Chain A
Amino acid sequence: GAGVSQSPRYKVAKRGQDVALRCDPISGHVSLFWYQQALGQGPEFLTYFQNEAQLDKSGLPSDRFFAERPEGSVSTLKIQRTQQEDSAVYLCASSWGFGSGNTIYFGEGSWLTVV
């Protein structure tokens, strides 16, 4: 597609429910990132994939968070047993190459509200 596509755009989950957030990166982009953005804050790094390999998952806040990219394209961020503090915008981004100098393109985000 023309840009990074995320779905769902909006999700309301009951506390304790599992959610799955999908990211379709720009075709051919090898690097994929997930960030979490709370209201009024800057994005915070969650995890990074290079093709299908998850090279850094140091930002995942707990073992309830899990991300995968099995075929090196589409990625899914899964949150188990959601808590109210998980309410945030989850941003996916991709870039063409491996290095820092490659332009990073963000999706519009998935807005998660846990009630």
Chain B
Amino acid sequence: GIQVEQSPPDLILQEGANSTLRCNFSDSVNNLQWFHQNPWGQLINLFYIPSGTKQNGRLSATTVATERYSLLYISSSQTTDSGVYFCAVEAGNNRKLIWGLGTSLAVNP
């Protein structure tokens, strides 16, 4: 089955710093989403981005489907950005999301 790899696994930032998180996937996908899981376990959908670039405030994402990777950019990080960022993909006709192991981000004040 399709494999999803995320890097780095862990990241520590000072407040105000920028960062780039990467997601590689092993096969063609028809859906790619980025999620943030806060320290209390709540998962929030950040982007639906099977291709192209999207921006939402301090966050933006780019997916290059032909090269099978996606990037999530966090600018001017805040302590509330802490948590785990997951990339998840969907391939084929089912609605099953395949998830990476996540990038655990800690933003220090």
Question: Interface of A with B (CB < 8 Å)?
Answer: 31, 33, 35, 40-45, 48, 55-56, 58-59, 89, 91, 93, 100-101, 103-106, 108-109, 111
Contacts and interface: CB of A to CB of B under 8 A. Distances in A.
Contact of A33 (B35, B86, B95): B95
Contacts of B41: 89, 108-109, 111
Contacts of B86: 42-43
A16 to B, nearest CB: 27
B101 A41 contact: yes
Contacts of B33: 104
Contacts, number: 59
Given A42-B101, A100-B90, A105 B95 contact: no
B45 A43 contact: no
Secondary structure at the A interface, as helix, strand, loop or mixed, is: strand
Given A103-B45, A108-B41, A42 B95 contact: no
A106 B31 contact: no
A108 B88 contact: no
B40 A44 contact: no
A47 B39 CA distance: 25
A93 B31 CA distance: 16
28 contacts: A31-B95, A33-B95, A42-B4, A42-B86, A42-B99, A42-B101, A42-B102, A43-B86, A43-B97, A55-B94, A55-B95, A56-B95, A56-B96, A58-B96, A59-B96, A91-B43, A93-B43, A100-B30, A100-B31, A101-B31, A103-B48, A105-B45, A106-B35, A106-B44, A106-B45, A108-B41, A108-B42, A109-B41
